Chains A and B, each alone.
Chain A
């Protein structure tokens, strides 16, 4: 091969593609006309066979009554056949995760059995001590009548399996489901039923600190990836038997568990039903956490304002549950989805309630100010600088003018450039590995703070505007909301650049109209300020806790009052501490 050939091959590999080049598919064609591969056929045959067996048995069992119908499955009485079918289903022995262990149960007479479990997600100690040990070593006293498979299963379940949750499985699909969630399945010779013993132990990290919703006062535990742990964190705060955990499964491939929590008699039944309907209606391959699920169930996916609230705080979730909301826990996701949510909830934090109410209210006003700044300040600046310099006092106008004098770019370009730099720093700061993190801060302060101004590429006033806006957008407690506001800010900026204050006013008007027309799970988005009647409490400011006597007015609750009007009652029987002689 000469140099020319090599260069050609380097520049255009497809031109000189030989037989030794591996090509995968035809690059996104529909694939029609190709014969279904052997694997597809085998899978279909397996499913059809199971289905047909089940159908046959259903027909047989139909006259025998309800109990018999429930026990219909596609398992056979032959242990070898069952084992072989399950292994086929799991693509074993190619797939090394399915572990099968054939044992002889030490009953009299001994019974052959197989233990099945998935490597890595089941608890080996429980399997060894509570399943294998009783079956293989402690079963001597158990006398079985030969050939009675079902009877043997009964006795094994009742007397030998020392697991705390044992269930019976009649078909291979449910066996697979149990195995995949970490259970151990025991197949017994001669019985068309399997026993699933609960041995779940998925890899889990321990309960840690909140990452995005820190508080100074208040609990520091946060949800993690195990949804059962998350539910436990919430249940610890709400010791009420009415707190219901429903388990839904989403995703054809992922089969992700979604825990739906609500308090019966407080949460509106219509809301519970609607949340359940939306979650169950999701038919996708994989739901990879709360962030994904909320996109499938939110009201208006095109809106820039988030209509679901994600929180990683169990105390916040408990508070919302006690107010009649529904919480969704997606397995493998360290956040809960609160349905419904209002705009104001996105501006609140748990700390607002832990502090004395004046401070909580002050915090909320600060955040409201941050919202206004984050949304409007750059547009306001451009409107003043490009269209309405008469709006600001003369001294300020002259100051802005002199700071702009050496800058060679129009102020919009200047602003956009600095905004882009700011976004770059933010994105780099998020993605950068922790070790070199401080570099970003250094570069950012140099680029933003000094170099740009000294090079007279941007004016110092503009740096102030961009930095204040950035600061304000980080003061917004909700991450999703921060993004929404940031994008809306750019839209408003575009309008302002074209039309000045007229555009800004029109854009703001459109945003407000859009927000007030939105709904989240049937609740007006700006409630309780818009769409409800009655006094507004706990939306923009937070009143003293003893005066928050009612649950939120925007939910059709069965019982609105949550505490008595007089919270701290005077009891004449209680011992009086101050005696007349007292000092």
Chain B
């Protein structure tokens, strides 16, 4: 074809023309860089990197989108970022979507706003309860958001939480939040995962409902210890009500439960622990239980997984029946009452007490989620195995049947150790006489 374009070479100029024939090809090769181009090249320091996005209800637009933009010099600088300068820039725009927010931000932020490094997405609770998560569609389509960003539902407007997020030990506020999520493995008071991808994966399936992190901003001015008491008689471990004074005025503990994309309720840390045990996602944690012989006192133990949790679907049909068996091991950490539970009979009593208190929490969690109609534990994962086709499963309507399901739990706890000493410390005079 090239030959036809250039005509048949002739005579002594043949050689020269032959090389001319390659010319269009060379030209095309030289044009290639323009196609792939260095057009999307951005020098790293010319980007405004959004670390976190907050989403609230908007007034003139559907959403008020708050972005937390890193100031690299202040966040990673050698001199410690300079005393008073905040390490991040927080600004709010109202837009129908993140990409729309980017357009508005480009009206007054000099650098190119990039969502590549956004690690957390804060959503106001009232938005999540009233409208659900309609913006999730954009999270899955928009290339700049990474799917590993985690979702946090906030009791207060997200903008307020982001503003209050000034950790004292860390410089980077989002690194602080990220570190809070690491506590999942040793306190078991946060859901196992709350990433965009994990939440999104559960939005379209019926066998389990999403859980996300739950955070709250507290009033810094007030110096009182706040908090409420949980069903087990202890302080309730839930964001915004942690019994504490001082520290960063943002808590993140417990979880927000969703039914589909709508938020339906809040679970506290203790409930999350019971839920993780049922999900087989529990590894180990310290936990306090009422002393069976002295109900005013608490016994603190270190719980760890004994065997994988076994969930058996006993019956499907109109009213499904499910049995969950949890086997745990425990090591005593503290018995302030001074009662010697190392005696075989007493040990069994303590084991029984721990097991029954755990079971009580589990049943309460199950009852609450049934009330919400949100199978956040994911019993449906076990039920779905009994259906040969997706159509049959969908026709069964698991989310509709879950509230009516009969779920039995059993918990077995074995005390393995009593810490570094077998007998209680004889601190009291009473003990000395014994």
Contact = CB atoms under 8 A, between A and B. Distances in A.
Q: Do A and B come together as binding partners?
A: yes
Interface of A: 384-387, 389-390, 394-395, 397-402, 404-405, 407, 410-411, 497-500, 502-503
B197 to A, nearest CB: 16
B41 A401 contact: no
Nearest to B111: A401
B397 interface: no
- Nearest 5 pairs of A and B residues by beta carbon: A390-B116, A402-B72, A401-B72, A404-B45, A399-B76
Contact of B43 (A385, A390, A394, A395): A385
Contacts of A399: 72, 76
Contacts of B43: 385-386, 404, 410-411
Contacts of B174: 394
B38 A401 contact: no
Contacts of A398: 49, 70, 72, 75-76, 172
Contact of B44 (A385, A395, A500): A385
A530 to B, nearest CB: 28
B107 interface: no
Contacts of B33: 498-499
B38 A394 contact: no
Contacts of B323: none
Contacts of A411: 43-44
Contacts of A395: 76, 172, 175
Nearest to A394: B117
20 contacts: A385-B44, A389-B42, A389-B49, A389-B116, A394-B119, A394-B172, A395-B76, A397-B44, A398-B75, A401-B47, A401-B72, A402-B75, A404-B43, A404-B44, A404-B45, A405-B73, A498-B37, A498-B38, A499-B36, A502-B36
Interface size range on B against A: 20 to 34
In this complex, the member of A385, A397, A411 whose beta carbon has the largest number of chain B beta carbons within 10 angstroms is: A397
Nearest to B117: A394
B44 A400 contact: yes
B38 A389 contact: no
Given A390-B146, A499-B38, A397 B117 contact: yes
B19 interface: no
A498 B36 contact: yes
Contacts of A401: 44-45, 47, 49, 72, 76
Contacts of A500: 38, 40-41
Nearest to B33: A498
B6 to A, nearest CB: 28
Interface in B19-72: 33, 36-38, 40-45, 47, 49, 51, 70, 72
A41 B433 CA distance: 132
Given A394-B119, A399-B72, A399-B76, 10 more contacts: A385-B44, A386-B42, A387-B40, A389-B44, A389-B114, A394-B70, A397-B44, A401-B72, A402-B75, A405-B72
A398 B77 CA distance: 9
Contacts of B76: 395, 398-399, 401-402
B110 to A, nearest CB: 13
Contacts of A502: 36
Nearest to A404: B45
Contacts of B37: 498
A386 B112 CA distance: 13
B33 to A, nearest CB: 5
A384 B38 CA distance: 13
A501 to B, nearest CB: 11
A384 to B, nearest CB: 8
A505 to B, nearest CB: 12
Contacts of A389: 42, 44, 47, 49, 114, 116-117
A500 B47 CA distance: 17
A433 to B, nearest CB: 40
B302 to A, nearest CB: 32
A453 B175 CA distance: 29
In this complex, the member of B51, B72, B73 whose beta carbon has the largest number of chain A beta carbons within 10 angstroms is: B72
A391 to B, nearest CB: 9
Contact of B38 (A402, A404, A405, A497): A497
A492 to B, nearest CB: 15
A399 B75 CA distance: 8
Nearest to A497: B38
A498 B76 CA distance: 29
A397 B40 contact: no
